[in-house]
Structure 1
Amino acid sequence: MRGTDLNMIERPYDGCGKCLLGVRRLSRMKLATSSPERQREDVLTTAASVGGHIIGWADDWEVSGATDPMTRPKLGPWLRDERGPYDGLVAAAVDRLGRNVVDCLNTGYKMRDEGKLLVTYGHDGPWDLNDQVDENRFTMEAWGAQMELRAIQRRNRNATEKTRAAGRPKGKPSYGFQYVRTVMGGKIDHVVLHPHASTVIRRVARRILADPEIVTASSEAARLSRSGELSPADHLAVMYGKPAGGRPWQPTSLKNILLSEAALGYLMHQNKPVIDRDGNPMRLCEGLWDRPTHEALKKALVPRRTPWIGRRANRPYMLTELALCGQCHNRLYTQTSRDEPPRYVCTARNKGWLSAKECRPAPLIQARLLDACVEEWFLQRFGDGMIFETVYDQGNGVAERVAELKASRERLRADREAGLYDAPDDAVWFRERYAAMGQRLAELELEPERSPGMVRRATGETVQDRWDKALDVQARKEILMDFGVRVILYPNSAPVRWVAGVVHGPERDPAGVA
């Protein structure tokens, strides 16, 4: 409307009967897009044309038009009457409400039945769905939006199939990989390992393989969150110029990354490698690790019951899980309050444990004091020692490559028996591929096999170096766990206040007086 200040159209709810909600939606947000601004201007203009004003915005960015308006993150709560009163909806077009005829009609009828206004840019006044002409026009515009959606989906599906057949990726890269484009915004030219993310996930794999009984996907997810490493979702957002959401690592997500064959550098479809014309998985680039390591991770990440002694705990105190009571030999717990600093204390007798009925007096000490004493003792005893790490040697992978080649050959044979290669030219191709696989299999079976296993090697740093590099208390606790440190605390009245030592298994007690 001429002479109308659009900035005055936005004001709080006042009960005038035309307090309208602005609806905006966009499937893909890009830096260069001007759609949000254009939709805003259209919505404000439309609201002014019916004498209304905007009390709020339901902006659903990165939301497909196929999503039911009732379930949309921003619009849904308003439609479910969870955000307060409003007198109607204003959108830049019918397709901003949705691209599904049923969803659009359901939203329109909801407004009609509740006596609320439904206004879109380009339509003269509010929609009157009690009028057959308006109802038919609204239905036709919703139908047009749905037909456009189906056309977009068909084009995307065809493009995806062609891209996959050509051996090129489409969609989001797996964690640890990144796409390289020769032209900004152009097609993906090739795939490479992400320099930082690949290092992060490879270190996780090495830690789990080195000690699968103690190091788990849950403990590693907690460690990565504590150290500030971007979660896969945040890492992807940052790669594409969006802000990180501060989301933590999830154990299930980390486990899926470690177990997926995408880590081998394969082109994936529906969580399975895409097979080329030779019957082998299509490879995009070098993998994060090889097939033997993948098989070892599958064995290491099998759910199991882990003992509490040595398990990677996540509480921010250095001696939880490591300190025991000298009276009853139960675990010490941390006790916190507003007036007192954190303390290590034995609570077994207070809990009524039979093993602690004679635990009197229960030992108690401020956490910072015991932490400092144990740190001094540990560094004096081990600080100058060189650290050796146990790492997984994947061997030469002959057995795994033989198994993979046999699986590919079996796949070809099954397709042949199903009648897929009955045509003369297909039969020739089948015989050539099958013979090539047989020849390669015979060559592999002649190669000497070096079995995978764990090996020890020097890291080039001392215990003091690693201790100084530890980012937080939990990281230092993991160093103590790696050395098998155990601490026994006695009451003040005992001749010895505390004892520390090293054990090589959960069945042994600490020994040695500090």
Structure 2
Amino acid sequence: MRGTDLNTIERPYDGCGKCLLGVRRLSRVKLATSSPERQRENVLTAAASVGAHIIGWADDWEVSGATDPVTRPSLGPWLRDERGPYDGLVAAAVDRLGRNVVDCLNTGYKMRDEKKMLVTYGHDGAWNLDDPADENRFTMEAWGAQMELRAIQRRNRDATVKTRAAGRPKGKPSYGFQYVRKVMGGKIDQVELHPHASEVLRNVARRILADPDNVTCSSEAARLNRAGELSPADHLAVMYGKPSGGRPWLPQSLKNILLSEATLGYLMHRNKPVLGREDGRPVRLCEGLWDRATHEALRSAILSRKAPWTRRSNREYVLTTVALCGQCHTRLYTQTSKDAPPRYTCTARNKGWLQAQHCRPAPLINAHLLDAYVEEWFLRELGDGMIYETVYDPGNGIAERVAETRASRERLRADREAGLYDAPDDAAWFRDRYAALGRELAALEAEPRRAPGMVRRPTGETVADRWFRAADVQARKEILIDFGVRVTLFPASAPVRWVPGFLHGPEQDPMALL
């Protein structure tokens, strides 16, 4: 309104009956957009036109108009009466409330039934949905917003189909990959491995393949969280200039990433590789994180593993799961209190375990003392030793090509059984491609190959290097566990206070454990 200072329209709730909530929404926030500022100005103008004021803002950025207003992050709590009193809503347009007729009408009728105001910019006064003319106009504007949404969705679907048919990616890159554009905001020119994220996944895969019995998706997700690695969602946000949300790595998410064929550099659709029309092979966007043989070995290691009956401790103490009681041979636990530092002790007798009924007195020692003793002993015994790592060797590549060709033929067969090549011309193309893949597979199987498997190689660092390079307590605990270290603690009255050793006995070289 002319002559009105819009800055005075914003003030706290005062019970005047016209304390409105400003509603703003935008599906995609870009640096060049001015929509948030324009929506703010329109909302303030609409509120001033009815003599109301703004008590707060429900800003839903990066939220689609197809989202039900009740479930939106900012507006939803207000509509569910979780944020305090307000006298109505004011938005820059009806489509800022939503782009679905049912959702818009539900929101409008909620305001009407609760005797609250509903105001949008461009409409004279507040909406009166008891008036048939106002109700029809509100419905038509909501219908127009829904028609626009359906047109946008149709255009996006068509563009996605054409892009996929051309063998180009569209949408978000998989974790470990990045899109390269020669022109900012332009089309995707090529796909590359992300230098940091790809190494994160490769390191996870190496650790799982080297020790599938102890290294799991759950333990790796916990390790990545401790190391401060950005989760896939946060990594994508930061990569596109948005703030990190502090979301953690989840075991199932990491498992899905490792098992997906997207890690091979394929163009994916509905979790399956897109096949080329000419040769029936998966469309490859760039080099993969690993080859087909490694993918199959990783898949076997993850899916064939049975869940253990015990959980590995993630507590911030070096010797949990490593230290044992010298009297009852059960695992030591940490005891904490306000008046004393953390201590390692045996709690088996207090828990009523039969094997610990004569464990008296229970061994007890300050945690920092035993940690220091074990660290000094461990580095003295093994600190100068070179570390060897166990890695997966895919062989000379023949096995990979055989697995790739066999997978392509299996996909064609599955598509044929699903009825995709029933037309006469499609059936002829299927027979030609299937026969060609069969001949190629036979030729590959006749070639000599070096079988894939696990090999040991030097890492170029010593045990002491890795120990002091460990990022946290959990990393040092993993080193002790990998080397099979066990510490036996006895009561203070015993002749020997503590005895270090290796789980596999002195006859086994502890260097072979890495």
Q: Is the pair's TM-score, using the shorter chain for normalization, greater than 0.5? A: yes
Q: Distance in 2 between matches of 1:431 and 1:10?
A: 71
In structure 2, the CA distance between the partners of 1:195 and 1:32, relative to structure 1 (3 Å rule), is same
Partner residue of 1:293? 294
RMSD over aligned Cα, in angstroms? 1.9
Q: Distance in 2 between matches of 1:412 and 1:490?
A: 65
In structure 2, the CA distance between the partners of 1:411 and 1:287, relative to structure 1 (3 Å rule), is closer
Instruction: Report deviation, 1:408.
Output: 3.0
Instruction: Report deviation, 1:409.
Output: 3.3
TM-score, normalised to structure 2's length? Answer: 0.94
Unaligned runs of 5+ in 2: none
Q: Distance in 1 between matches of 2:328 and 2:80?
A: 58
Instruction: Report deviation, 1:390.
Output: 1.1
Q: Distance in 1 between matches of 2:350 and 2:57?
A: 56
Partner residue of 1:103? 103
Give 3-state SS (helix, strand or coil) of 1:306's partner. Answer: coil
Confirm or deny that 1:306 pairs with 2:302.
no
TM-superposition CA deviations, 1:352-391 (whole Å, max 9, x none): 1111111111111110000000000000000111111111
Q: Distance in 2 between matches of 1:478 and 1:75?
A: 46
- 1:157 maps to a residue whose letter is R
Give 3-state SS (helix, strand or coil) of 1:90's partner. Answer: strand
- 8 A Cα contact 2:9 2:44, kept in partner: yes
- 2:139 maps to a residue whose letter is T
Instruction: Report deviation, 1:401.
Output: 3.4
In structure 2, the CA distance between the partners of 1:383 and 1:410, relative to structure 1 (3 Å rule), is closer
Partner residue of 1:328? 328
Confirm or deny that 1:59 pairs with 2:59.
yes
TM-superposition CA deviations, 1:206-237 (whole Å, max 9, x none): 00000000111111111111111111111111
Instruction: Report deviation, 1:279.
Output: 1.1
TM-superposition CA deviations, 1:461-506 (whole Å, max 9, x none): 111111111111111111111110000011110110000001228x
Instruction: Report deviation, 1:397.
Output: 4.9
Aligned ranges 1:263-274 → 2 under 5 Å? 263-274=263-274
Q: Distance in 2 between matches of 1:134 and 1:427?
A: 59
Q: Distance in 1 between matches of 2:450 and 2:187?
A: 41
Question: Equivalent pairs: percent with the same residue?
Answer: 80
Partner residue of 1:163? 163
TM-superposition CA deviations, 1:26-71 (whole Å, max 9, x none): 0111111111111011001110110000011111111110111111
Partner residue of 1:347? 347
TM-superposition CA deviations, 1:394-423 (whole Å, max 9, x none): 223534533442443355466668583654
Give 3-state SS (helix, strand or coil) of 2:122's partner. Answer: coil
Partner residue of 1:38? 38
In structure 2, the CA distance between the partners of 1:406 and 1:454, relative to structure 1 (3 Å rule), is closer
- 1:420 maps to a residue whose letter is Y
In structure 2, the CA distance between the partners of 1:279 and 1:66, relative to structure 1 (3 Å rule), is same
- 1:293 maps to a residue whose letter is T
- 1:488 maps to a residue whose letter is T
Partner residue of 1:390? 390
Q: Distance in 2 between matches of 1:18 and 1:245?
A: 35
Using the TM superposition, name which of 293-302 and 317-326 deviates more. Answer: 293-302
Aligned ranges 1:405-484 → 2 under 5 Å? 405-412=405-412, 418=419, 420=421, 422-423=423-424, 426=426, 429-430=429-430, 432-484=432-484
- 1:376 maps to a residue whose letter is E
Unaligned runs of 5+ in 1: none
Aligned ranges 1:19-168 → 2 under 5 Å? 19-168=19-168
What is the aligned length?
A: 504
In structure 2, the CA distance between the partners of 1:100 and 1:366, relative to structure 1 (3 Å rule), is same
Q: Distance in 1 between matches of 2:415 and 2:262?
A: 24
In structure 2, the CA distance between the partners of 1:195 and 1:427, relative to structure 1 (3 Å rule), is same
Q: Distance in 2 between matches of 1:169 and 1:152?
A: 19
TM-superposition CA deviations, 1:107-156 (whole Å, max 9, x none): 11111111110000000000111111111111110010000000000000
Give 3-state SS (helix, strand or coil) of 1:301's partner. Answer: helix
- 1:116 maps to a residue whose letter is K
Q: Distance in 2 between matches of 1:431 and 1:162?
A: 26
Give 3-state SS (helix, strand or coil) of 1:20's partner. Answer: strand
- 1:173 maps to a residue whose letter is P
- 8 A Cα contact 1:416 1:422, kept in partner: no
In structure 2, the CA distance between the partners of 1:421 and 1:328, relative to structure 1 (3 Å rule), is closer
Q: Distance in 2 between matches of 1:304 and 1:412?
A: 32
In structure 2, the CA distance between the partners of 1:331 and 1:431, relative to structure 1 (3 Å rule), is closer
- 1:280 maps to a residue whose letter is R
Using the TM superposition, name which of 411-420 and 370-379 deviates more. Answer: 411-420
